Structure 1
Amino acid sequence: MAATVHYKTAPVEVRERLSFTDEKMLAEGMAALKEKKSILENVILSTCNRTEVYAVVDQIHTARYYIKEFLAEFFGQDLESIAPYIRFHENEEAVRHLMKVTCGLDSMVLGETQILGQVRTSFFIAQKAGATGIIFNRLFKDAITLAKKAHTRTEIGKHAVSVSYAAVELGKKVLGGLQEKKVLVIGAGKMGELTVENLYSNGAKHITIVNRTYEKAKELAEKFSGKARPAEELADCLTDADIVISSTGSEEYILTKPMIEPIVKEKEGPLFMVDIAVPRDIDPEIGGLPSVHLYDIDDLEDVVNQNLEERKKAAGIISGWIDEGTEQFYQWIQTLGVVPLIAALREKALKIQEQTMESIVRKIPDLTERERKVISKHTKSIINQMLRDPIQQIKELAGRPDADQALYYFRKIFNLEDMAPGEDDGEQREMEAGRTKQKQAVQG
């Protein structure tokens, strides 16, 4: 089961109230949820855009209530106030949802890669807290492996699909990298912050931020090892800049042709300028100056739209892999109930082989050690060959609607009821647990 509260279903003020802010809080949450009725395994994922509870449960309707109760109690919220924002995915849809999330297909920015690391971290925390078991240990490893494949074998994350990211990618393309370039960001609002974050994550080491309010520029610069300069020093900053990205709320041009023209004449290399403000910050006539590469938001949106189409193509390929991964996971789930039976059958067959060898040795005591090993090897080979087809058949029958009946007759045909009481009870419990998780549990 997957219980989700994310950007598609809940406003930010609700998501804030249900956010696990650090790894310690996540571990405490998973440990607390583990004690709730009907919850057999759990992993909690919490990011700025989503809080999701993945659980293996024994009763779907009961688990729904207890997951909602857990979230309300843990965050001190009224259950009725948060319940309308929680969506549930169950069975195969829950498995498919986890894989979509991990691959970045359910993200606000299609194909973003950060979510993969967040899923991996949550899974490791859950394992350490003892909140996972056989099902989630397999499922989350499958999802993480699939996401790695998606990002290495397709270009889902290689095309900029936000204006600020497109500006940075365009700068890298035009100037051949950002590491040694001096970057000037004008404006410290939301768009400016996203721009600085993208610059920093792409290797820019020399970032200067100019803002009308110096303290805000300083606060942003400190987050990303940059420098802040007051608005009065803008002209001096332009002299040193290789890249200028502007995103203020000004009603007039901040950078005019008379201001930039003398600076360009003195510069040895090109000046890359991106105007992502509406209204524009940079006089479009500046684009006609020698060695100036000027782009506005319309230019970038063309790039974004084209890149989004490329990501959608990759997402189509990945969706096919997710369908395959979901089917393979459920095929594995279906074998859980037969594992104890197969083990019991093999054990019984080996006991018969051992008894046969003991009889042979008693009747032919003069056998050499080598002859005994040869006979033992060949009798075991006969057993393995005889068991191969029945074992394959029972694995396939486990996936049918009448699986319980098939397992019952399998036990009867091979007379597996006569195992020692302790072994039988233990294996019966294991088989029933496997069948319960297959039929009733909701994976996510």
Structure 2
Amino acid sequence: MTSWRAVWCRSRTSPPGNRSKPRWTVLPRGLRHRCDRADTARMTDAAGFRESPRYAVVGASHQTADAAFRDRLFVDDEGRAGMLAKLRDSDIRQAVILSTCDRVEFHLALSDPEQGVRMVEDVVAECTGRRRNAVEEQLFRRYDQDAVRHIFRVACALESQVVGESQVLGQVKHAFAQSRDVEMIGADLDTLYQATFSLAKQVRTETRIGEGAVTVASAAVQIARDLHGDPAKIRLLVIGLGDTGALLLEQFRLAGVQECVLTGPSRRTERAAGRAQCHFTPFDSLPDALAEADAVITASGSGRFLVDRALAAGALRQRRGLPIILFDCGSPEDVDPAVDDLDGAFRYTLADLERMAREGKFGRHEQANDAARMVDERVVSFQKSLAAQEGVPGLVALRQHFEDVRRHVIEHHANADAEEATRLLINHLLHSPSKVLRDVAAQGGVADLRDTITVNRVVARLFNLRLEDSAGGQFDGESNGEGRKDDGSVE
């Protein structure tokens, strides 16, 4: 398959036609990327070569930001399109916004990721109505290789509250598709995400990490079944919109639970209840909803107890001796540990469920370690593939330049014999680089001197030459660019 860069170079050098209109460039896997002249200028340097892609991730997750901030930052599909438009207006041309209940992240590909992150922070401050310094405190940032590793880990569910859960991969794919639909996916993000999807599939296929997530949810269902019997008769209350709560809800549904009520402090709860096909009750009605529930899943992580001892005690009085189970999936916890003192209330944290899953089936941490090792290996191979691709345009251009010079010599010196033709060819090929090197050396500055040394070392390595510097040291094409003294020691 033709690489994106080769297609892009042909597009850049082809006749522009109507210069006022953007040009479409065909990309791998049918992806179309709109590239106008302004974009082209941003993507290339003065010599006409494309800049190396750099990646960045900035966002807020259940590990770094409170639930109130994540709730204000959360965007649905309609809001995501609007926020992508804001990023485009800020001169960010490649971006994906991953927005779930547990995390809101911006995945970027651009030449200056630090500047891009600052632009995202401005957009986040505007959207959340918070001061810039308050926003910075809630966000995490990853750059380059760390950004690639983070995106890989998120898609493989290694950053989820329940390691191995399957929902996040679908959410990542959906976010990518939305960015593609509004033309915010270029070759760099496409390459990264195709590698991400391939890795996630490999992790699911070659490890049992996904079974662990199901086992955690199944442990909760089994506890409820042991206490209340037939799941079809269990009345389930879900408080909060966290992804872990949705995971447990899905497993309860598969077990046969039919009656489910959703509530919570978030303004998005009623709409989420419709999507999840749950009944909605206002958060102000929590005491009554709690009294009617046999099993409760909390997944808010708001930083305060949504169910305290007094609220649970009141619900138990109304239940007249019927027990209630509370699965606390909040981070931090949503249920006051003092509830454990009440007769008839059984509280289980996410750590409790994970421990029961490990004891009941297999070591899920071992599976996670295998997946993490696969992520690290893929990060290395991905970086190597990028480095290899970056060398291709230079080689193509160099070969074309040599060919142009060869034709020029033949056309203007048709009667020259082999010796004369080859001498002319060498002179023409070395004329420009010789002039540039002399000009750089004549500048005399420290930076220019470093440039000269670097060029000499690159030339030595490219053509396997042995050169001598002004200090009498030598470096050659087999020394990886390091200066080598006559006695074999490295400078």
TM-score by length of 1: 0.57
User: 2:122 maps to which residue?
Assistant: 69
| 1:18 and 2:73 matched | yes
Matched, 1:249 2:299: no
Contact kept in structure 2, 1:3 and 1:53, CA below 8 Å: yes
2:135 to 79, 82, 86: 82
- Whole-Å separation in 1 of the counterparts to 2:205 and 2:404: 49
Alignment of 1:273-352 (within 5 A): 278-279=340-341, 297=348, 302-304=355-357, 306=359, 310-344=363-397
| 1:36 and 2:99 are equivalent in the alignment | no
In the alignment, does 2:250 pair up with 1:198?
yes
Q: Is 1:41–1:133's contact at 8 Å kept on the other side of the alignment? A: yes
Seen in structure 2, the aligned counterparts of structure 1 residues 334 and 194 have a Cα distance that, compared at 3 Å, is closer
Report the residue type matching 2:67 in the other structure: V
Is residue 65 of structure 2 the alignment partner of residue 2 of structure 1?
Answer: no
Q: Distance in 1 between matches of 2:273 and 2:70?
A: 27
Give the whole-Å Cα distance in 2 for the aligned partners of 1:226 and 1:48.
17
**Matched length:** 318
Which residue type is aligned with residue 73 of structure 2?
L
Residues 196, 224 of structure 1: 8 Å contact kept: no
Whichever residue aligns with residue 204 of structure 1, its letter is G
Matches within 5 A, 1:33-182: 33-37=87-91, 39-160=92-213, 165-168=218-221, 182=232
> After superposition, what is the alpha-carbon deviation per residue over 1:16-45, rounded to whole angstroms, capped at 9, x for unaligned?
22221x1122122223213324x3422111
Moved more, 65-74 or 339-348: 339-348
Per the alignment, in what secondary structure is the counterpart of residue 381 of structure 2? helix
Is the 1:188–1:220 contact (alpha carbons within 8 Å) kept by the matching residues of 2? Answer: no
State the 1:83 CA deviation: 1.4
Between the aligned partners of 1:14 and 1:220, the Cα distance in structure 2 is: 18
Structure 1, residues 66-125: CA drift from partner, whole Å, max 9, x if none? 221122234443222211222211111110011011111111222222111111111111
Structure 2 residue ranges without an equivalent (≥5):
1-55, 264-269, 281-286, 298-310, 328-338, 406-451, 464-491
Instruction: Indicate if the aligned counterparts of 1:2 and 1:55 stay in contact, CA closer than 8 A.
Output: yes
Q: Distance in 2 between matches of 1:19 and 1:2?
A: 16
Larger deviation: 200-209 or 319-328? Answer: 200-209
- The CA deviation at 1:55 is 1.2
186 and 137 in structure 1: CA distance in 2 versus 1, 3 angstrom threshold: closer
> Aligned partner of 2:384: which letter?
Q
Structure with the higher fraction of residues in helix conformation? 1
Q: 1:157 to 1:76 in 2, by over 3 A?
A: same
Amino acid at match of 1:158: E
Cα displacement string for residues 145-178 of structure 1 (whole angstroms, at most 9, x for unaligned residues): 2112222322212125897652225679x9xxx9
Q: 1:103 to 1:219 in 2, by over 3 A?
A: closer
2: distance between equivalents of 1:13 and 1:302?
A: 29
Aligned in 2, Cα 1:61/1:130: closer, same or farther, shift over 3 Å?
Answer: same
Is the Cα contact below 8 Å between 1:42 and 1:53 reproduced in 2?
A: yes
1: distance between equivalents of 2:235 and 2:272? 11
Distance 1:305 1:409, change over 3 A: same
Q: Is the 8 A contact 1:164 1:194 kept in 2?
A: no
State the shift of 1:314 in Å: 1.0
* Cα contact 1:2–1:90 (8 A) shared by 2: yes
User: Could you tell me how far 1:15 is from its partner in structure 2?
Assistant: 1.5
Partner Cα separation in structure 2 for residue 58 and residue 126 of structure 1: 19
The one-letter code matched in structure 2 to 1:33 is: L
Q: Residues 161, 126 of structure 1: CA spacing in aligned structure 2 closer, same or farther, 3 A cutoff?
A: same
Please report the RMSD computed on the Cα atoms of aligned residues, expressed in angstroms.
5.0
SS at match of 1:202: helix
Cα-to-partner distance string for 1:324-372 (whole Å, 9 max, x where unaligned): 11111111211233222444577789999xxxxxxxxxxxxxxxxxxxx
Q: How far apart are the structure 1 equivalents of 2:68 and 2:249?
A: 24
- State how far apart, in whole Å, the 2-side matches of 1:119 and 1:195 are: 16
| Cα 1:10–1:34 shift into 2, 3 Å | same
CA 1:280–1:350: 2 relative to 1, 3 Å: farther
Indicate conservation of the 8 Å contact 1:5/1:52, yes or no: yes
Gaps of at least 5 residues in structure 1 are: 212-217, 239-243, 261-272, 284-294, 353-401, 414-444
Contact 1:30 1:126 in 2 (8 A): yes
Query: Using a 3 Å threshold, how does the CA distance of structure 1 residues 223 and 197 change in structure 2: closer, same or farther?
Result: farther
* Matched residue type, 1:127: R
Q: Is the 8 A contact 2:209 2:367 kept in 1?
A: yes
d(CA) in 2 for partners of 1:2, 1:133? 16
Quick one: higher RCO (CA 8 Å, sep 6+), 1 or 2?
1
Is residue 6–residue 50 contact of structure 1 (8 Å, CA) maintained in 2?
A: yes
Report how far residue 5 of structure 1 moved.
1.4
Contact between 2:221 and 2:255, CA under 8 Å: does it hold in 1? no
